[in-house]
Amino acid sequence: MSAQPNQSLIDGLACMQALATAPNPIGCRDLARRLELNHMRANRLLKTLAEIGLAQQDEKKRYFIGPGIHALAAQAMFGSGILNQALPLIKELNHQGMTVAIGVLWREHVTYLFHGKVGADIEDGIGRMGLMPFHRSSIGMLLLAEQDDETIKQLHNNVACDLNKKELLAAVKKVRLQNYATINGETNEAHISLAVPIGTPTVAGLALSGISPNDDIQPYVDELQSICQRITL
């Protein structure tokens, strides 16, 4: 991080993310408690977000996301080109019953751009999944490995994790050597979830979940990597 980070910007983004991930409108005091912010500061940040259209209020003065967030999301998706290129390619997968996902890691959570069943309608996989802790996602572990060990140690100090610090660093080292990540499935631990990187440098992960532990993993790795090589960012 910069020697002089802009704390107001950091707190404003935290407020915006809290609104974007909340299932219901949030009052200012509730949001301030969640983010451990001074109430006056949270109120000022929320009013600023509302002024520029990134937040809005309901009849009870609670805040929820504004049209500006939807606009930014659409502009970002168009600008990155990930989904435009990836969605036609994942239609080629022929693993009925498995789940295919595209996700990014920000801080300690994976956000899924797409998460749907192979062979199902593409629209069913957009906006289907909420945030997932990095250590419970093959995409999360894959993208965490892009960070340096000191950053990973600091992250481990600040969040709850299924793995202790030594186990996490060992898992990350393995991901770096293989250039792919595997974990037990997110919803069925009898299955494996596999993720490979998209882009050079890596900007996202492509995952396939539902692989049997008895299967040879390499053909799945080769198949996903072949798809990723056709995505130009």
Chain mean pLDDT for the chain: 92
**Helices and strands of the chain, counted as H and E runs:** 9, 8
SS3 198: strand
pLDDT of residue 190: 73
Q: How far is CA 32 from the centre of its chain?
A: 24
pLDDT digits (tens, 9 = 90+) for 11-42: 999 999 999 999 999 999 999 999 999 999 99
- Residues shown for the chain: 233
Given a cut of 60, whether residue 93 has pLDDT beyond it is yes
Given a cut of 60, whether residue 1 has pLDDT beyond it is no
pLDDT of residue 188: 55
Confidence of residue 180 (pLDDT cuts 50, 70, 90): very high
Which stretches of the chain are assigned E, i.e. beta strand? Answer: 55-57, 63-65, 99-106, 109-117, 132-133, 181-184, 192-198, 204-211
* Of residues 3 and 127, more confidently modeled: 127
* Of residues 127 and 143, more confidently modeled: 143
Given a cut of 90, whether residue 232 has pLDDT beyond it is no
SS3 71: helix
What interhelical angle do 82-90 and 218-229 show, nearest 10?
140
Query: Could you give all domains of the chain from N- to C-terminal order, each with its CATH number?
Result: 7-70 (1.10.10.10), 81-229 (3.30.450.40)
